Amino acid sequence: MAEVISPVVNASNENVLLELLNVESAYGPIKAIRGVSLKVRKGEIATVLGSNGAGKTTILKTISGIIDPRKGSITFNGKDITAKDPAFIVQQGLSHVPEGREVFPLLSVKDNLLMGAFTRSDKDGVAKDIEMVYDYFPILKERATQDAGLLSGGQQQMLSISRALMARPSLILLDEPSLGLSPKLTKEIFEIVVRINRDQGTTFLLVEQNANMALNASDYGYVLENGRIVMEDTCERLREKDDIKEFYLGMKEEGVRDERRWKKKKNWR
Ligand SMILES: Nc1ncnc2c1ncn2[C@@H]1O[C@H](COP(=O)(O)OP(=O)(O)O)[C@@H](O)[C@H]1O
Ligand SMILES: [Mg+2]
């Protein structure tokens, strides 16, 4: 992953764009997230790492207003957006790329992009932005007139991100872009997300099971287990943490193993 551009780390508390405070969401009796607090700063890529069922999708759905939280508050750009209507939240500049990259399968690629811009009245700006997303994802230009349903999974992911961009959001929520994609394609998509972040200043909150990819692309990270945030730090530091390496990155370096053995021995005495 050395080719991925090194992110600019902004760990200060200033310029908070999105803040969740003690957010709890449930499906009937099932509490999916419990007391989640997190911050996303302007201009950064933040990530929430967690295994299947940890509550990642629930966090994003709660932010974008698809699910109303039982407790807690969500502030975006200084405004309280807790339990507001999803359409209102989109208008504030927050776009959600859902899990499973939902595209309109019977609409052309270009019409899918135009759907992303339906709230905009600046025709010239929209035309410019279509060219901009074609620059990032040239395959979408090639397939512009084709039905979106005929695209591959990776291409649909690209279209889904591009459609979100067409609304000119200040924050994009990205739900597991790596799901079902090859490592090569995943890497390509993450590299473009980083480019969009650097070029356009778009802030991202990305949730992922693929900790390796997410930690390389992001600036700041949270680890979610059973609906709770159990750890947070800059991604640079998270990548160096032994338990992250072992449990999320699947790496068992000699050094780590030696140290654990030594610790065990120590415990036996
Ligand atoms: N529609 C639903 N009805 C009931 N339980 C749900 C529903 N969606 C998710 N859950 C449960 O909530 C928890 C968190 O799910 P989710 O947010 O989808 O996790 P993740 O995205 O990290 O895989 C899981 O235990 C899951 O089974
Ligand atoms: Mg999910």
Give me the pLDDT at residue 10, please. Answer: 46
Residue 226 lies in a domain: yes
Ligand 1 atom with the smallest distance to the CA of 54 is 22
- CA-CA-CA-CA dihedral for 9, 212, 27, 76, to nearest 10: 20
For residue 172, the domain's CATH number is 3.40.50.300
Residue 31 lies in a domain: no
Give me the pLDDT at residue 257, please. Answer: 45
In the chain, which stretches have pLDDT less than 70? 1-13, 249-269
Pairing of strands 71-76, 16-27: antiparallel
**Distance, CA 211 to ligand 2 centroid (Å)?**
14
Residue 147 lies in a domain: yes
Residue 253 lies in a domain: yes
Q: Tell me: the pLDDT tens digits for 109-127?
A: 999 999 999 888 999 999 9
Give me the pLDDT at residue 263, please. Answer: 39
Give the count of domains, the chain. 1
Q: Hey, whose CA ends up nearest to atom 13 of ligand 1?
A: 32
Residue 234 lies in a domain: yes
CA distance 174 to 4: 18
Give me the pLDDT at residue 250, please. Answer: 62
Helix (H), strand (E) at residue 185: helix 183-200
Residues of the domain holding 121: 37-268
Give me the pLDDT at residue 242, please. Answer: 80
Residue 28 lies in a domain: no
Give me the pLDDT at residue 246, please. Answer: 75
Are 134 and 127 a contacting pair, CB within 8 Å?
no
Please report which ligand is nearest the Cα atom of 58. Answer: 1
Residue 156 lies in a domain: yes
**Distance, CA 153 to ligand 1 centroid (Å)?**
23
Residue 220 lies in a domain: yes
Query: Is residue 253 helix, strand or coil?
Result: coil
Please report which ligand is nearest the Cα atom of 25. Answer: 1
**Distance, CA 70 to ligand 1 centroid (Å)?**
15
Q: Tell me: the pLDDT tens digits for 6-56?
A: 445 444 557 999 999 999 999 999 999 999 999 999 999 999 999 999 999
Please report the beta strands in 50-120, taking only residues with DSSP state E, as ranges in sequence order. 71-76, 79-80, 94-97
Give me the pLDDT at residue 203, please. Answer: 98
Give me the pLDDT at residue 254, please. Answer: 47
- CA-CA-CA-CA dihedral for 106, 172, 217, 144, to nearest 10: 30
